[in-house]
A = this chain, B = another copy of it.
Amino acid sequence: MDFAYDATTERLREQLLAFMDERVYPAEPVFHEQLAERENPWTSVPVVEELKTEARTRGLWNFFLPGELGAGLTNLQYAPLAEITGRSPSLAPAALNCAAPDTGNMEVLAMFGTEAQRKQWLQPLLDGEIRSAFAMTEPDVASSDARNIATSIRRDGADYVLNGRKWYISGAMNPNCRIFIVMGKTDPDAEPHRQQSMILVPRDTPGVHVKRGMQVFGYTDGDHGGHAEVIFDDARVPAENLIDAEGSGFAIAQARLGPGRIHHCMRLIGMAERAIELMCRRAVSREAFGKALAQQGVVQEWIAEARVRVEQLRLLVLKTAWLMDTQGNKGAHTEIQSIKIATPASVEWILDKAIQLHGAGGVSQDFPLAELWAAARMLRLADGPDEVHKRSLARRELKRYL
């Protein structure tokens, strides 16, 4: 047992921290100005492209992807780097080409794509030239159980025809989001885990209607393509767009989830660290009732509790990454679920306190706290609400005593 990062991680952390200080944090105000000025409220802005170019030049690129196609890092090596990008979550993950949902989509294509699929879609994604979306969640069913997904993918000659309604399809409002991986039912009569398939659907396919941007506590998240409601109305794609085979949709979804959750959780921890920093800076610089906030007992209580929670969370996420590296996603099942339960809830708590400490500023657009809070809150629902994961984790724990 050893709690020190290895040499590769330490080296990359240093390089990444330098990049954050030199380029990312200074780009934050520029980013907000450019967002305010753009015409289409769903597009990316120039400063992000500049950061991408710079990051790639510095070798800070595709860290998320193991193997030859990516940076070759283990999950345990990537985790502390993902954490750092979470300190500036609108810029840093995109700058390093490590932003969701592209990361998960690239993993799917790397693992399950045909050579043609990889050439057409994976390569430009790896190069950061296009964006992509993952179309799973549906408004009319409890999508946390993937078996409930109702969108139909029907074989018709050399094509598949899609019909259904999806929402909260992140990134899909962005015109540069060129390709959707869509989950749907190819065989409603198969056994429950074998009814679903995934298929590649270009955004400009006739019958694909990107209808509107869904909000998250008033935020549109337009800077990274929003969260679209998408209607598939007899959308037709060639059969070779199918990923893997008919009936493998559920299995691919499972494979995609593990790393995705680790990444989200590590970035959340970075967000929490940013919140603690903002909390401390505010506390030492603001007075009320004749003394600095930093000297007030309740503020100290919040800061201590935040620190204690973050330290615990980080270790559990790192251990989960280690388990995935050493025992595979299945061997890390309980831990993946544990971090999915624990991280958004704890980080939400920390952000709430940071907001409270900032007064009205805390809920405003002048500090990143409220927007970070909304992101953390959303993650108590995304990929299934906490309650679903707790139920599943508990049933596995209880099984040992049956």
Contact = CB atoms under 8 A, between A and B. Distances in A.
A378 interface: yes
A390 B299 CA distance: 10
A372 B125 CA distance: 39
A167 interface: yes
Contacts of A373: 217
A312 B316 contact: yes
Given A284-B401, A365-B214, A391-B304, A335 B356 contact: no
Contact of A322 (B2, B363, B378): B2
Interface stretch (A157-165, A259-267, A285-293): A285-293
Interface in A78-135: none
Query: 6 closest A-B pairs (Cβ-Cβ)?
Result: A218-B218, A297-B297, A304-B390, A300-B394, A218-B219, A312-B312
Given A139-B360, A378-B363, A397 B3 contact: no
Contact of A217 (B9, B167, B366, B370): B370
A360 B401 contact: no
Nearest to A359: B381
Interface residues of A, number: 95
Contacts of A311: 316, 319, 335, 338
Interface of A: 1-6, 9, 76, 137, 139, 142-145, 167-168, 214-220, 276-277, 280-281, 283-284, 286-289, 294, 296-305, 307-309, 311-313, 315-316, 318-319, 322-323, 334-335, 338, 341-342, 355-356, 359-366, 370-371, 373-374, 377-378, 380-382, 385-391, 393-395, 397-398, 400-402
B338 A308 contact: yes
Nearest to A342: B308
B386 A145 contact: no
A304 B394 contact: yes
Contact of A341 (B168, B296, B304, B390): B304
B323 A3 contact: yes
B361 A139 contact: yes
A67 to B, nearest CB: 20
A158 to B, nearest CB: 35
A77 B115 CA distance: 50
B390 A301 contact: yes
A280 B398 contact: yes
A397 B217 contact: no
Contacts of A139: 360-361
Given A303-B398, A308-B342, 20 more contacts: A1-B3, A1-B6, A143-B359, A214-B366, A216-B370, A217-B373, A283-B401, A300-B398, A301-B391, A304-B394, A304-B397, A307-B338, A309-B342, A312-B312, A312-B338, A315-B319, A356-B381, A356-B387, A359-B381, A363-B378
